[in-house]
Structure 1
């Protein structure tokens, strides 16, 4: 094992290097693609000093309170380099370009062109042959490994998540105030959005509420979920002949745009959605400015944020909105893969060190450490009821000490907790139920050189066009013009490459 100098536990990432250096950096790492030691012998109980570039989904990094316990349980000293989720694309791209990386890098944007190129370049270790040596890692299902692989190589430990985590959260107290039942189909959902906007659901006599509160993302805002309800494919559709069609060339996608445009034109979708960040979206919902939110996983956080502001708030999660054909569907994010815990060869020099770090990742999935990263310290941050119900004791303290760590858990599916909050527990159960009708993206395990090189810029063409259509800035002809631009700019090449990869994998 290499010796590393002692370092502080938590620092912020500051990466300002131009992404133009990416290809040169990738080439340099590729030249070091064979760094294995002859034996790979390591001591699984040795003390490990490890640096980790991880995503930060909260305003501030965690305190050392729980981190100390994690280090004690795993016999490690951890230096977290936190990357705010809002700037992850810029920061991670710059880090990959500069080669300034940590021992562990959380790569959550597997469809990002720069990330994809870096993975294929040989910059990171292929861990395929090592996982079965570890008690927890060997439990990762084969389909998850396949979905996280590129050309049969697995360049990191997959973050394991449920197949379909999306769904809706509605203000149940507003439904009750207006005498409405929870919606079960698209027509009823539209009516709820109208009533939440026009019928004074909070009873304050003011015109100050709307239906959908949304944010500047197609994928994680309302649109992707609504497109699932309409029956659109998840990313791409593939027919029996192996022909690939992008989702935005389907009738269901067009119908989703029309549905969203009608919401927007009537004020049932927040007018500023295209410039609203996730944190602002959540804050506005917690302040009582809207009654429909996309993302069942956030139900507890929204309730906590509303304390002292909207104490009367009662929420209900909904995972089933029937489409025009009466069927239930929900899109699956990367087939249950939330990204990779990747190990750069520039930092992890040999097989022995890699194996010790994999042991650390394996330890993070142990129930003891999982509970530390999920709940914190029992008796201080959480308690378990007589029937094992999980209950956070002090939300404010939990948010400071624990919540920032929870997004770095290698697995969200290995252990199941019964949440003491019945609405959060219901949301958890509905997310698991989504597995039954989750719609997978057929391109997740496939490779396309065009997608690797230009996928992000091509995607932006469609994102911008979809937003413009929803906001009435272009019509169907204008949208088709942008689709044609996408095709000529590499979209057609991408489709052909996916078709070839699909046939080769058969």
Structure 2
């Protein structure tokens, strides 16, 4: 059943002639937008919403949303959020959850069943979320989206395979947070390398040696032995775990004797990486507090010139260079490394749309249509441009055909400002700095433009198995503890390997690995 037919069914059930007439008019507008006219709700040149259910002829669409907070809590009445809501004809009521607490709060929310209308989840594969989807907590969007003819932005402006990655039992329950596959870079302070005459590392061995020299060499010149090497958080170094794993070949498919596809963290190549990190820790290169360090702490250490290396999104480089310069390091320069390891290049790519927007089943069907119109508009180039650069003259100026954020722009336009809409995919959207000059951004693109040729996508970024979710729910916490103990030397590597072997030998783990192998083969047959 197509979109117009579903709406008509709803309207006939209501048996209200006035509503029927309004619904028909709305469908006419939407059809015009979807049949080769302007993208639905992309907005007129004066910034007003046009077309579809986003038309200002209707009352603003109120949206209750749960979303990640990556900066300070935003003032929803500031210039950016006022403009976003005006263009989309919405009133957003967002529960902003700090990124470090996001997974925990998400699990609690799903367990409570007190879901918001829209859930913006950072990982569409999180087992608790998948279980909630399968239990009927969210709308199946497949019949709403149909052939996407009414949603050209959601069809054309997202990354390749965006919906293929996220199907569950052949159905689409979430819309992608469409972002660049080139995202994470293993950063190093290039100015510190130059100061101590250390060549730019091109292998993981050279990287380890360079960090040891930096840690011992007082590169900030403060006369104190306080320089940290590699920092991070999470299991090892959070966002950098997969990048380093790629260098050991741990993101490449590895099969057990029965032909099952082994989960990345239990892959023998991943264990090789753990052993390497053990050496970094023993040499004082890996921060001694890695296991308890939160993302906000790592970020503060890096932007104040306390650490040599950190793995995060590339677009942070300019902001963190500027912060270091303000903190007495005027020559601060950050670069992202391309390094060869024993099993490959230490560059991980994302699926390009890992985040997910889901609509609670408690939302009435008619409002689902309006929410989809909102997300269709959010995936337009116009709204994407607004999310990245704000309003000309208010948030940015134009210099050499390059939009550059001003002070107000840096304050209001950030990662958090991109969390409430799908947005159009930009190849270098997680690379270029909105506050950087044209020359700066061109140089940054040149630094990493080869990443999509040498990088690796973790297949477990899109493969799913209910069997594995049940296994990993029992062992993940213990596995994290064992990783820490292995790295800091509280247990031997052989003890760690024995723990991994125990999980891999479980009958249910072997069953899950068979399911992963079948899913991997099926996915690539469709390529």
TM norm structure 1: 0.83
Judge which range, 87-96 or 420-429, deviates more: 420-429
Distance across 1 between alignment mates of 2:413 and 2:310:
27
Distance across 1 between alignment mates of 2:302 and 2:159:
37
Distance across 2 between alignment mates of 1:291 and 1:136:
41
Distance 1:109 1:461, change over 3 A: farther
Distance across 1 between alignment mates of 2:258 and 2:398:
53
Work out which of the residue numbers 398, 402, 406 in structure 2 matches 1:393: 406
Unmatched tracts of structure 2, length 5 or more: 1-5, 12-22, 27-51
1:246 to partner: Cα distance: 2.8
Matched residue, 1:93? 107
Deviations 1:244-289 (A, max 9, x none): 1233454432331222111111111111111100110011122222
Aligned residues: 465
Aligned 1:350-389 pairs, distance under 5 A: 350=365, 352-386=366-400, 388-389=401-402
Distance across 2 between alignment mates of 1:426 and 1:217:
32
Q: In the alignment, does 2:231 pair up with 1:213?
A: yes
Work out which of the residue numbers 425, 428, 449 in structure 2 matches 1:413: 425
Distance across 2 between alignment mates of 1:402 and 1:188:
34
Judge which range, 264-273 or 486-495, deviates more: 486-495
Q: In the alignment, does 2:4 pair up with 1:38?
A: no
Comparing both chains, which one has the higher relative contact order based on Cα–Cα distances under 8 Å and sequence gaps of 6 or more?
Answer: 1
Matched residue, 1:496? 514
Distance across 2 between alignment mates of 1:285 and 1:150:
39
Distance across 2 between alignment mates of 1:361 and 1:240:
45
Work out which of the residue numbers 353, 357, 365 in structure 2 matches 1:341: 357
1:39 to partner: Cα distance: 5.1
Work out which of the residue numbers 140, 143, 155 in structure 2 matches 1:138: 155
Q: In the alignment, does 2:456 pair up with 1:439?
A: yes
Q: In the alignment, does 2:247 pair up with 1:229?
A: yes
Matched residue, 1:57? 70
Three-state SS of the structure 1 residue aligned to 2:152 is coil
1:70 to partner: Cα distance: 0.7
Three-state SS of the structure 2 residue aligned to 1:55 is strand
Q: In the alignment, does 2:291 pair up with 1:279?
A: no
Deviations 1:148-199 (A, max 9, x none): 1112111111112222422222112111110122211112111211111112
Deviations 1:392-420 (A, max 9, x none): 1106x632465521244423624867653
In the alignment, is the contact (CA less than 8 A) between 2:271 and 2:497 conserved in 1?
no
Unmatched tracts of structure 1, length 5 or more: 1-34
Judge which range, 430-439 or 237-246, deviates more: 237-246
Distance across 1 between alignment mates of 2:522 and 2:442:
43
Deviations 1:313-369 (A, max 9, x none): 4223224111236x5352233x222221100111x211x321211111111122332
Distance across 2 between alignment mates of 1:146 and 1:167:
26
After superposition, the CA RMSD in angstroms is 2.8
Work out which of the residue numbers 471, 481, 496 in structure 1 matches 2:488: 471
Distance across 2 between alignment mates of 1:132 and 1:434:
33
1:456 to partner: Cα distance: 4.2
Matched residue, 1:482? 499
Judge which range, 313-322 or 193-202, deviates more: 313-322
TM norm structure 2: 0.80
Deviations 1:30-75 (A, max 9, x none): xxxxx98725855522331222211111132344221110111111
